[in-house]
Amino acid sequence: MTSKISMTVNGRQVEGSVEGRTLLVEFLREHLGLTGTHVGCDTSQCGACVVHVDGKAVKSCTLLAAAADGGDVVTIEGLADGTRLHPMQTAFKENHGLQCGFCTPGMIMSAVDLVNRHKSNGGGKLTEEKIRAELEGNICRCTGYHNIVKAIEAGAKAM
């Protein structure tokens, strides 16, 4: 059984025909060719698949594509404004917040969401402790998180 779905992905209206079991991450990767969003586990733990749906960070391995029907999805490919990088992307580069790059798209999408939520909750200083606690759902095996935390501190200031 397939069903037709449509959604906005990175500002572009897209349509597709998916099985009921098709996950959002499969739709993005296999149907739309947006391979920047990665799958690192099968249990919603690692966060390599994080995208934004209707402005909120979502693990796209845990959402059916059909459930995102009509939604507004932003992936890592849609974060920059044309060739101008999002401040969080720049911060990851400038602070060496990535090594192999596999967790990076999900990490950046989570970081942007983290800062957005923090700001909408009144802002104030985004402490290291808070950043570390908020990154619970994103696993990185390379960096030891040290430079990711620094990158998010810098990205938050620039956002």
Residue 69 near other proteins by CB under 8 A:
no
Residue 104 near other proteins by CB under 8 A:
yes
Judged by beta carbon, residue 68 or residue 75, the one nearer other proteins is 75
**Interface region with other proteins, contact rule CB under 8 A, candidates 1-9, 44-52, 62-70, 113-121:** 44-52
The strand order across the sheet containing 72-74 reads 12-19, 2-9, 72-74, 50-53, 56-59
Residue 49 near other proteins by CB under 8 A:
no
Residue 121 near other proteins by CB under 8 A:
no
Residue 131: CB atoms within 10 A of its CB come to: 21
CB of 128 to other proteins, least distance (A): 7
Judged by beta carbon, residue 6 or residue 35, the one nearer other proteins is 35
From candidates 5, 16, 38, 63, binder to other proteins by CB under 8 A? 38
Residue 21 near other proteins by CB under 8 A:
yes
Residue whose token pair is 């209206």: 13
Residue 145 near other proteins by CB under 8 A:
yes
Q: Sign of the CA dihedral 131, 137, 139, 140?
A: negative
Residue 96 near other proteins by CB under 8 A:
yes
Residue whose token pair is 């950043």: 131
**Residues in contact with other proteins by the rule CB under 8 A:** 19, 21, 29, 34-43, 45-46, 48, 75-77, 79-80, 85, 89, 92-94, 96, 98-105, 108, 128-129, 131-133, 135-136, 138-149
